[in-house]
Structure 1
Amino acid sequence: MPDLSPLTRVAAGTAGAAVLGLGYATLIERNAFTLREVTVPVLAPGAATLRVLHISDLHMMPGQKRKQNWLRELDRLEPDLVINTGDNLSHPKSVPAVVQALSGLLARPGLFVFGSNDYFAPVLKNPLAYFDKDHDRVYGPPLPWGDLRAAFNERGWQDMTHVRRDIEVGGVRISVAGVDDPHLERDRYETIAGAADKSADLRLGLTHSPEPRVLDRFADDGYDLVLAGHTHGGQLCLPFFGALVTNCGIDRSRVKGPSRWGAHMQLHVSAGMGTSPFAPARFCCRPEATLLTLVPAPRDESRRSAGSAAESAGSRR
């Protein structure tokens, strides 16, 4: 066998590592579902602790039994409230799989908003387009989001798309509002605009894509916490660097998990549980659901009165 040049050896080693990495990302990590647990001090003083299960971006295909079984087991956590921030579907026949996988959780109090892959099926895309925030979006065939919405509603979950509600869960009074998917520019914040109820124990906002223009509006109206998904946590990340892209307007440091938006509002972005069937890989970014334990904020960090946006207008991001 002839000796290989150093350059050839490096190229061969790089190609081998790439193949191994791709195999790990597609066969192992994208199915390595994990539960994150986060405590968020966001409730009014004296409020009872609230356990919120945040799920997002299931991107369900009918045959994904491992994902469906893992979702089914989440009901054992016995959350007080379930929040679903969209992108449940990836196939026109996925509605029964989603509903059956969530069957136990659907018997618990729940709120939801939809994302782009509830409305339209995913399509093959140029991966380099994710690095261009102004690229032209391509939409697949319509998905049966109306059937999914009806199934969620029939089992008691409430659609928060352009709606404001006051609910009580586990003795905690919640003022909640949501918008349609900003990624598709379907958000119409003006339909829910106005100061959130400052007498509530929690002022909660829901959106699929955490676009800054929407987060700013929630913050201006005095919301304490916004839950979102969409980013997949970057999906393909690098060790010691993190996400390459966010697929929306937020910066990479907020691509998943909790962070502060402005002076007073907390943001939690779920890295989600799925992928597009055309990009079935995750690297350094395991698929996840999150159990948020909401507790009262420290008394020396007073919650902002709703509507007093001017004091923090220059402190965001």
Structure 2
Amino acid sequence: MNYYVIAAGIVVGAAMGTASVSWIHRGVGTGWIVLGAAGVGVGCTMVFTAVALLLTGPDHFMVVHVVYLVCVVGLPLAGAIVLAFGRPSPLIITTLCLVSFTAIPVGVYATHIEPFWLRVDAATLAVEGNGEGIRIGVIADLQTTSIGNYENEAIDRLISFAPDVVMFPGDLHQIKAGQFDERAPQFTQLIQRLVDAVPVVYLVNGHSDTVAELHQITHGTGAKVLDNEVATLELKGKVIHIAGVSLLGRDYEPAAKLAVDRLANDDLPGMRILLAHEPDAIKLLKGDTVDLLVSGHTHGGQVAIPFFGPPITASSVPRHIAAGGLHELHGTPTYVSTGVGRERGNAPQVRFGVRPSIGIIDLVGEG
């Protein structure tokens, strides 16, 4: 993959920086050696990054990946080089080098531990007129190229909570071009296993899957792909209307607004739920409200800074809402899943401070 080219640039840059520290034996000060090594390393990284971007085209995920690799690979490597060859070093430089090593466990945790540390995000929502409680299971953004133990365990864990209905707000897969027909049966088996345990399963498409692909995956399973339409069902004596809206490229199709208009009609009896890939679908309501909006897409930002939250959410909704969980947005209860998977392609496949999750929303009566 092209980020290996960038990683090679970081390593080569550090190696060239190592060669430059031999200047210390010629009377060059340690500070200049550190600056020289850093300059060579950064220069090589930039060159290799430029080559990678030429291969992939403009890609902001690649830029983020560069920053990540520099932080968790380049900085500790540079610190080790200075400690090994730059002695005697001033105390401040030695301290900075030692601090740089903390990036190593952070990188291991963010790459190999947290992305697979699945949690259950439980929420309770009081809904007017609801009698016996209804449990909604939410599983979003598997966003994987194939089904493995982790994805199967996520389905098993969701099933164990015995939801009455399961909603999947998009990005079921991120299969590479040309591999869909080969990989799709794995996803069909996954959906079938879910439907066998929870007969009522609804899906909408996201950015990495299409309505046609979801129809192919779910064909014969009993799961229902909502394509700008409203489904009506009865659960525990309660009528529920679920509008599922489809994405076309980066935005919702015009037909999505028609489906939402039907759902938001105050004369429609029963509970009303909007299922959409993005929480940004709130704009389709145009000031109207429904009982619940269920969405995913943001991955909770995938990386969150302590006391600040996710710096990037790929959403226009407020950051604290995009970070995940049940909130109120423009008068509408809005649930945003942090997702099960993570961004693929050229993005760093990491999570930090935003564990993956399945959602369990219990709808209970008011009072």
Query: Deviation string for 1:29-85 (max 9, x for gaps)?
Result: 0011111111111x2324321000011000122263223233234222221000000
Query: Deviation string for 1:268-294 (max 9, x for gaps)?
Result: 000000012332110011111011101
Whether contact under 8 Å (1:39, 1:295) holds in the other structure is yes
* Alignment match, 1:313: none
2:251 & 2:223 partners in 1: Cα distance? 24
1:153 & 1:70 partners in 2: Cα distance? 22
* Alignment match, 2:250: 184
The Cα of 1:219 is off from its aligned counterpart by 6.2
What secondary structure is seen at the aligned counterpart in 2 of 1:90? Answer: coil
What secondary structure is seen at the aligned counterpart in 2 of 1:26? Answer: helix
Runs of 5+ unmatched residues, structure 1: 120-144, 299-317
* Alignment match, 1:233: 300
Change (3 A) 1:63 1:217: closer
Question: Which of residues 134, 140, 149 is equivalent to 1:65?
Answer: 149
* Alignment match, 2:47: none
Whether contact under 8 Å (1:273, 1:287) holds in the other structure is yes
Greater shift after overlay, 163-172 or 277-286? 163-172
What secondary structure is seen at the aligned counterpart in 1 of 2:257? Answer: helix
Question: Which of residues 84, 91, 94 is equivalent to 1:9?
Answer: 94
* Alignment match, 1:24: 109
Whether 2:305 is the aligned partner of 1:216: answer: no
* Alignment match, 2:129: 45
Q: TM-score under structure 2 normalisation?
A: 0.68
1:33 & 1:174 partners in 2: Cα distance? 29
* Alignment match, 1:139: none
Change (3 A) 1:237 1:11: same
What secondary structure is seen at the aligned counterpart in 2 of 1:155? Answer: coil
Which letter does structure 1 place at the counterpart of 2:110? Answer: A
Q: After superposition, where does 1:1-317 map in structure 2 within 5 Å?
A: 2-41=87-126, 43-62=127-146, 64-91=148-175, 92=180, 93-107=182-196, 108-119=199-210, 146-181=212-247, 184-188=250-254, 189-192=256-259, 193-194=261-262, 195-196=264-265, 198=267, 200-211=269-280, 214-218=281-285, 220-255=287-322, 256-263=324-331, 265-277=332-344, 278=346, 279-298=348-367
Which letter does structure 2 place at the counterpart of 1:30? Answer: P
Larger relative contact order (Cα-Cα within 8 Å, sequence gap ≥ 6): 1
Whether contact under 8 Å (1:106, 1:152) holds in the other structure is no
Query: Deviation string for 1:225-276 (max 9, x for gaps)?
Result: 100100000101112222111101111110110110123x100000000012
Runs of 5+ unmatched residues, structure 2: 1-83
Count of aligned positions: 269
Change (3 A) 1:200 1:181: same
Whether contact under 8 Å (2:137, 2:166) holds in the other structure is yes
Identity of aligned residues (%): 24
Bigger helix fraction? 2
2:329 & 2:140 partners in 1: Cα distance? 20
Change (3 A) 1:76 1:199: same
2:129 & 2:217 partners in 1: Cα distance? 36
Change (3 A) 1:200 1:297: farther
The Cα of 1:296 is off from its aligned counterpart by 1.9
1:63 & 1:228 partners in 2: Cα distance? 22
Change (3 A) 1:73 1:253: closer
Whether contact under 8 Å (2:147, 2:187) holds in the other structure is no
Which letter does structure 1 place at the counterpart of 2:207? Answer: S
Change (3 A) 1:26 1:260: same
The Cα of 1:198 is off from its aligned counterpart by 4.3
The Cα of 1:183 is off from its aligned counterpart by 6.8
Which letter does structure 2 place at the counterpart of 1:159? Answer: V
Whether contact under 8 Å (1:60, 1:98) holds in the other structure is no
Q: Which has the larger radius of gyration?
A: 2
Q: TM-score under structure 1 normalisation?
A: 0.77
Whether contact under 8 Å (2:302, 2:354) holds in the other structure is yes
Whether contact under 8 Å (2:205, 2:214) holds in the other structure is no
Whether contact under 8 Å (1:233, 1:272) holds in the other structure is yes
Greater shift after overlay, 252-261 or 275-284? 275-284
